[in-house]
Each structure stands twice: as C-alpha cells, then as structure tokens.
C-alpha cells in the first residue's frame, strides 16, 4: 500500500482544521512520525485518513485510489486507527478484547487461526503475561499497550497510532515502538504515529512530518526536519540537534522566555 494526500482541507462542520495540505507518497514499510504541538491538527489528520471525518476539499489516496471509493468495511480492513482515547468492555480479558478487535473485520465465527493470531500478536508485543488479566485490572500504561495490540492484530496495510506512548514508561515506550517497527517493516505496512517525544521520533521514524495550525511546515528525514529552525519556533523553545557517540540523533531543548 502507498499513501498520498492531495490538497486536503478537513475539519469539523464548516470549521477547517487542516488547511490545503499535501503529503507525497508514503512507501510500504515506512514508519512516519507526525510531530507538532498540542492542537496542531495531528488527530484531525488521522481521523480524516481513517475516514472518520469527510474532507472539505482534496483527497486521501491509497494505492492510487481515492478513499471516497472505498466502503467503510474495506477501509476498516485496510486501515487500523488507535485514537488517543480508547476503551473496551471492562468485563473482557486482554485476550478476549484483542480477539474482539480482530473479529470486527473478519466475521464473528472464531477459528483456530484467529486464536493463534491473537497469541502471536500479544507475544510480539511482549504482552502474553497479561492475556488472562481483566481489562479493568490493568494500569493506564498496560491498557495503552493492549490498545496497540488491538490495532495490530488485524494485520492492516496501514496503521495510525495517535500518541501511542503517552501513558508508557521509558522501557515500554522503547519496547512497543521497537516491536511495532519490526512487525510493520516485515509486513510492508505503513505506520503513521503522532509523537510528542522528538527523541523517540528520531530513534524510530524513517520520516517526520511537522504540522502546526493545520499546515505542514516540514516533511523529510528525521535528521533534516529536526535540524530546522522551525522546530524551535513551533514548540517555542530553543533546540539543537545533537549526535551521541553511538551515532544516534537527539534533540536538546531549553525554554526561551522571549519566545
């Protein structure tokens, strides 16, 4: 699957949040980080790609076909979306909740291969030890990791993750993003993730899109985008892009009172 966005304007009612944005083709297996401050338009972009918001103008193109020509069911099979606010029936176990997510797009008859698919997804995300736990017994971070499993279990061709690490500690941030990256590259799946931590974005993403006030300010490799003055200007801080002794990129930031 390839993704492209052409002259897209979208929002809520007649209020446009995204203003005439275009994103050149995103190749299969890409991990794209969407960065920008709060209320920049990241969630609106994801909801529009997922088909939850109808564009006011322009279009989202998947494999050369406009999303407007896909049925809701076909779109749900192709694209999996994990929103910031997620939930599941608190009476279910983790295994049952992930199985339910899988069956929403594949019919309700449970087959042996469905059970195997849930087990392998939990194992890949290092969540097997939670399989028999009730959803209501999970911590916020554990619930967020399970939400990622619910998103990935369907083996979609494109995954949209809206702030997938917001409730996770450092260990689990690295674990989840590393697992997602490995699985999606192996499958040739496109991943787009809204990330607030620029250093996680630098570590895991192949491409970064900087968005603010509904407009795309930069689109390119992490090294190119994070070095731009627009990063500091957008976040109203002073930033510098540094390199560790091991060659990894990291963003050093400090407050600037005059900004």
- Predicted pLDDT at 155: 86
Rounded to whole angstroms, how far apart are CA atoms 200 and 208?
11
What is the reported pLDDT for 73?
78
Element (H, E) at 104: none
d(CA 95, CA 118): 7
pLDDT tens per residue, range 125-135? 999 999 999 99
> Minimal CA–CA distance to 104: which of 123, 118, 125?
118
Q: How confident is the model at residue 236 (pLDDT cuts 50, 70, 90)?
A: very high
pLDDT tens, 12-57?
988 999 999 999 999 999 999 999 999 999 999 999 999 899 899 9
What pLDDT is stored for residue 212 in this prediction?
Answer: 97
Q: What pLDDT does 192 receive? A: 96
DSSP string, 46-86: HHHHHTSS--SEEEEEETTEEGGGS-HHHHHHHEEEE-SS-
Span 148-163, average pLDDT: 92
Q: Could you tell me the pTM of the whole model?
A: 0.91
Q: Can you give the pLDDT at residue 217?
A: 97
- Residue 85 CB neighbour total at 10 angstroms: 8
Arithmetic mean of pLDDT, 109-115: 90
Q: Are strands 15-26 and 31-35 parallel, antiparallel or unpaired?
A: unpaired
210-to-108, 159, 170 alpha-carbon distances in Å: 40, 19, 23
* Region of poorest pLDDT, from 48-62, 78-92, 110-124, 158-172: 78-92
- Assess contact for 33 and 209: CB atoms under 8 A: yes
CA-based max dimension of the chain: 61
* Per-residue confidence band for 88, with pLDDT thresholds at 50, 70 and 90: low
pLDDT at 106: 73
Assign domain 3-255 one CATH number from 3.40.10.10, 3.30.70.60, 3.30.2350.10, 3.40.50.300: 3.40.50.300
What pLDDT is attached to residue 257? 54
Range of lowest pLDDT (45-59, 181-195, 243-257): 243-257
In 104-169, which ranges are continuous DSSP H helix?
112-124, 140-152
What is the average pLDDT score of the chain? Answer: 91
pLDDT of residue 13: 87
pLDDT in tens, 217-232: 999 999 999 999 999 9
Residue 109: pLDDT band with limits 50, 70, 90 = confident
pLDDT at 259: 46
Per-domain residue ranges of the chain: 3-255
Cα end-to-end span (Å), the chain: 41
Cβ-in-10-Å burial (0-12, 13-18, 19+) of 87 comes to exposed
Q: Which tokens sit at 159? A: 């995954």
* DSSP 8-state assignment for residue 227: T
Q: Tell me which DSSP letter residue 27 carries.
A: P
Q: What percent of the chain has pLDDT over 90?
A: 72
**Averaged pLDDT, 178-200:** 93
Count Cα neighbours of 55 within 13 Å in the Cβ-side half-sphere. Answer: 22
CB-based contact 202:239 (threshold 8 Å)? no
């Amino acid at each position: 699957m390839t993704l492209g966005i052409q002259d897209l304007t979208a929002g809520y009612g007649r209020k446009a949040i995204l203003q005439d944005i275009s994103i050149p083709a995103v190749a299969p297996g890409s991990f794209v980080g969407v960065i920008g401050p709060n209320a920049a338009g990241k969630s609106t972009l994801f909801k529009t790609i997922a088909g939850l918001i109808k564009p006011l103008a322009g279009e989202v193109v998947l494999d050369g076909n406009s999303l407007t020509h896909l049925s809701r069911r076909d779109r749900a099979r192709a694209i999996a979306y994990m929103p910031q606010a997620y939930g599941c029936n608190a009476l279910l176990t983790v295994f049952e909740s992930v199985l339910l997510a899988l069956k929403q797009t594949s019919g309700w008859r449970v087959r042996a291969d469905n059970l195997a698919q849930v087990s392998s997804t939990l194992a890949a995300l290092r969540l097997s030890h939670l399989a028999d736990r009730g959803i209501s017994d999970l911590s916020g971070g554990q619930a967020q990791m399970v939400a990622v499993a619910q998103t990935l279990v369907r083996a979609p061709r494109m995954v949209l993750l809206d702030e997938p690490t917001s409730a996770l500690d450092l260990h689990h941030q690295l674990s989840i993003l590393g697992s997602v990256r490995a699985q999606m590259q192996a499958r040739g799946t496109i991943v787009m993730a809204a990330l607030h931590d620029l250093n996680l974005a630098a570590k895991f993403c192949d491409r970064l899109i900087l968005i603010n006030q509904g407009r795309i300010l930069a689109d390119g490799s992490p090294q190119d985008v994070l070095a731009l003055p627009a990063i500091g200007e957008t976040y109203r801080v002073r930033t510098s892009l540094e390199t560790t002794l091991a060659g990894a990129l990291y963003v050093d930031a400090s407050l600037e009172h005059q900004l």
